[in-house]
A and B are shown apart, each in its own frame.
Chain A
Amino acid sequence: MTKFSDLTRLPDERGHFGPYGGRFVSETLSFALEDLEKTYLSLREDPDFQAEFDYDLAHYVGRPSPLYHAKRWSAQLGGAQIWLKREDLNHTGAHKVNNTIGQALLAKKSGKPRVIAETGAGQHGVATATVAARLGLECEVYMGAEDVERQKLNVYRMHLLGAKVIPVESGSRTLKDAMNEALRDWVTNVDDTFYVIGTVAGPHPYPMMVRDFSAVVGREAREQSLKQIGRLPDALVACVGGGSNAMGLFYPFVEDEEVKMYGVEAGGEGIETGRHAAPLTANAPQGVLHGNRTYLMSDEGGQIIDTHSISAGLDYPGVGPEHALWKDVGRVEYVAANDDKVLEAFRELTRLEGIMPALESAHALAHAKVLAPTMRTDQHIIVNLSGRGDKDILTVAKIDGVEF
């Protein structure tokens, strides 16, 4: 059994989290990744860089984000008290901006005039386009053609911010294909381009770096919990696609063994139907994609399987390598929430608390709904409300049969 305190000392120097992670890339990118790792490791301990990062988080993003006690919803569920970590209130409306602020500072320090990104729901694309606008960097965002269709509002936001959105028509036309295309761009333009990866996946050092930039969420939540609840929470709940918001919330609590953690994957139409995006919950085999080894949805021949989720941001066949390890050692319990339960939670929070969550975040809410009634009223759950639902209005309207 791994001691949980050992988990904070990962990855090893080659980017491995136990059997997961690593740097599985074509040779052309090796140099860029070694370079990025060196730059990041030197700046990580640099007080000036940290100060600049913290300043931007406070004055540009609007941190700290509140920890809000959802009293009415908790009362209705009739169990544990539910607290929402309000990442939806960040500038650009999701947790993604914490990471893009950090990576944009790195891009600036490395003197690269151009940034590229992949995006699913468009939140990471918007967050990248935003920081690129602010720093005067050229920005191109790859987005699956299917996602371009279902996230039109975010596509236009990126356009307004001066970024170029490139619809990706290959493969399943979703997030994984956007990442393939971004990697192809990077391998071609590696000299002048910084690749801003939006989740805790990809080749080393990205999983570590994105985790570190995202962990501000958990550090704040831990402090706020001690102050507002008077102790640590009993459970944490967050949705997991690639896993950046869950990683951000969970990481600072990893050694607090009394705090249970639940990562909620996209159950789509149900694990048993095969139409989902839940590699951990479904016990998908190990595999290698996009530079790292992890749980990966592939068929017997090793071809990547098309995933399904109501939320574009979770529609990904793999998951960050550190989550894969946390599953194996039992630090986090991974579960799935199906599309119908997610919509139910979306509507419930909107009506009862006046907070419209992103469909991604509504996966975490759907599990909190299951969890809370099994706990006592003097117990506490923190749910990462990783993004706001404005971008999903068209998707929900379509389900309701409403056209604009």
Chain B
Amino acid sequence: MNRIDQRFAALKEQGRTALIPYITAGDPSPEHTVGFMHTLVEAGADVIELGVPFSDPMADGPVIQKACERALKHGTRLSHLFEMVREFRETDHETPVVLMGYLNPIERLGYRAFAEQAATAGVDGVLIVDMPPEEAEELGPLLKEHGLASIFLVAPTTSESRAATICAHGEGYLYYVSLKGVTGAATLDVESVDRQLAPLRRLTELPLCVGFGIRDGASAAAVGRIADGVVVGSALVNRIAEGVDDTLSIAPALKEVLGEMRRALDA
């Protein structure tokens, strides 16, 4: 059983909601990333989404665009991410790690090489923002072959027939994008998200995790009541941006933000 499935099974048993932080690998520079991952786990992360920096992150708002720019200034690329995950796995054998990003770096490396290297490094799942299931015919089976979960997005605009296709292909968990827009945008409307999750529950047993617009303990707790997991990205990346000139301050700041969410979710 994949680490992601194990983690969600355990959470379900405990009646707890998954807390899934996102950070961009290599932000503000590569030597910090593994330390941040451990910090996130200490603060209560159940799954870590590790962003693969890309020069043209079309689905992201300014916060994550700038994070990509900082990471790319140091030349962070997939081979470094694999190295980071391998190092993280030296001491953490349990926390699932999901790579999240855009397709082109993977195209360039080659699908098979990507799947092999990611699995060897200790990655558990892959979420490619610009690859819907229809375009995953080649990569999907290779990921499966290497025990990597294909995680897909569902949006407020997703039709019911598309949602059925996505659910049929999805593994690990479904990432429900709570609002129309880019990452880091406005706050979300919990009631409307709740209404949209209901039909998905009828389509799939996969855990439903909600992202976009979660910025503090209160919004995390509100979403936690209706979802199996909450994803938080820009709120954390913002703290990294604030600490660029004083990198020692970043880990405590991440701990504070995520810790507040953990406490709110468990309350």
Contacts and interface: CB of A to CB of B under 8 A. Distances in A.
A114 to B, nearest CB: 14
A181 to B, nearest CB: 9
A150 B246 CA distance: 39
B105 A301 contact: yes
B130 A25 contact: yes
B104 interface: yes
B209 interface: no
A300 B56 contact: no
Interface stretch (B35-43, B153-161, B237-245, B252-260): B153-161
A190 B104 contact: no
A301 B156 contact: no
Interface stretch (B70-78, B115-123, B195-203, B224-232): B70-78
A31 B159 contact: yes
Interface stretch (A280-288, A341-349, A376-384, A395-403): A280-288
A304 B155 CA distance: 27
Contact of A287 (B104, B131, B159): B104
B250 interface: no
Given A26-B153, A190-B180, A302 B158 contact: no
Given A14-B134, A23-B134, A288-B103, A301 B56 contact: no
Contacts of B162: 30-31, 34
A28 B177 contact: yes
A170 interface: yes
B180 A301 contact: no
A155 to B, nearest CB: 23
A400 to B, nearest CB: 34
Contacts of A304: 55-56, 104
B58 A302 contact: no
A38 B75 CA distance: 42
Contacts of B55: 171, 303-304
B157 A184 contact: no
A27 B177 contact: yes
B30 to A, nearest CB: 13
Contacts of A285: 108
A297 to B, nearest CB: 11
B107 interface: yes
Interface string B93-135: 0000000001111111100000000000000000001111011
A22 interface: yes
Interface residues of B, number: 42
Given A289-B104, A302-B107, A302-B108, A27 B185 contact: no
Contacts of A177: 56
A303 B181 contact: no
Nearest to B101: A302
B182 A184 contact: yes
Contacts of A31: 155, 157-159, 162
A287 B75 CA distance: 19
Contacts of B132: 23-25, 27, 30
B105 A27 contact: no
Nearest to B162: A30
Interface of A: 14, 22-32, 34, 170-171, 176-177, 180, 183-184, 187-191, 285-291, 293, 296, 298, 300-304
20 contacts: A24-B132, A25-B130, A26-B58, A28-B156, A28-B157, A30-B157, A30-B162, A31-B157, A170-B62, A170-B65, A183-B59, A187-B59, A188-B185, A288-B103, A296-B104, A298-B104, A302-B54, A302-B77, A302-B78, A304-B56
The 4 closest A-B pairs by CB, nearest first: A302-B105, A301-B77, A302-B108, A28-B155
